């Protein structure tokens, strides 16, 4: 069974991206994947700093996040857009996970062989699309295969019911398709 690590780049209570993630995760699970959902704010990390790393080593929260990445085959990320880019919390976590902990550890070991799927929700008209472009570029630079199908949900402040479900059926199907496609792709790569 393929294992997917799923997280949102937002820690805000009521986050649209956390709601969106739950929908994509549900579809990935229905397609046969084992999905682990985490909250990045449960892994508080100082800003990536090589001097701090040289002095103290990798912080325990960063090490725990990196271990989770190493244990999973795929990544399902819901990324809000901050000023046309990704959130500082998400970037920092991805930076820490890119670091080698020992001299014999293969560079970018937490990213090699991974497949990722991306979704986003934003109150703007583009739905966080500009942030997804930045995230796609970053992940591909780290060696991740990022699936071409993604979904950005515009006007997110009006897109969800009080229960956290998407109001528009076509949008809901598109988000579920992203989660399902990740699970299916990982299964195909395994065979």
For the domain spanning 3-190, the CATH number is 3.40.50.360
For residue 191, the model assigns a pLDDT of 65
DSSP string, 45-111: -PPP-HHHHHHH-S-HHHHHHHHHHHH-SEEEEE---BTTB--HHHHHHHHHHTS-SSTTSPTTTTT
Contact 153, 166 (CB under 8 A): yes
Q: Would the pLDDT of 1 be above 90? A: no
Domain boundaries, the chain: 3-190
Q: Which residues, at least 6 apart from 59, have a Cβ–Cβ distance to it below 8 Å? A: 45, 46, 96
pLDDT mean across residues, the chain = 96
Q: Would the pLDDT of 190 be above 90? A: no
For residue 13, the model assigns a pLDDT of 87
Main-chain dihedrals φ then ψ at residue 2, nearest 5 degrees: -80, 140
Distance CA 157, CA 188 (A): 36
% pLDDT > 90, the chain: 96
0.75 exceeded by the pTM? yes
pLDDT tens, residue by residue, 80-89? 999 999 999 9
Main-chain dihedrals φ then ψ at residue 147, nearest 5 degrees: -60, 140
pLDDT tens, residue by residue, 139-189? 999 999 999 999 999 999 999 999 999 999 999 999 999 999 999 999 999
For residue 67, the model assigns a pLDDT of 97
Tell me which of 8-12, 18-22, 141-145, 182-186 is least confident.
Answer: 8-12
Q: Select from 112, 161, 166, 159 the least CA-distant residue to 140.
A: 112
């Amino acid at each position: 069974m393929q294992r997917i690590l799923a997280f949102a780049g937002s820690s805000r209570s009521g986050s649209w991206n956390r709601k969106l993630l739950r929908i994509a995760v549900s579809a990935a699970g229905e397609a046969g994947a084992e999905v682990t959902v985490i909250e990045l704010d449960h892994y508080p990390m100082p800003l990536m700093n090589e001097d701090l790393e040289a002095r103290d080593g990798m912080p325990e929260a960063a090490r725990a996040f990196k271990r989770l990445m190493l244990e999973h085959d795929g990544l399902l990320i819901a990324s809000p857009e901050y000023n046309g880019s990704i959130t500082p919390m998400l970037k920092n976590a991805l930076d820490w996970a890119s670091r080698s902990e020992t001299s014999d550890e293969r560079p970018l070991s937490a990213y090699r062989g991974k497949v990722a799927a991306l979704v986003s929700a934003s109150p703007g008209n583009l739905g966080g699309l500009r942030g997804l472009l930045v995230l796609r570029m970053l992940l591909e630079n780290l060696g991740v295969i990022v699936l071409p199908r993604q979904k950005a949900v515009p006007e997110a402040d009006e897109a969800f019911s009080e229960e956290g479900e998407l109001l528009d059926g076509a949008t809901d199907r598109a988000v579920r398709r992203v989660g399902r496609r990740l699970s299916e792709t990982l299964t195909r790569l395994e065979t």
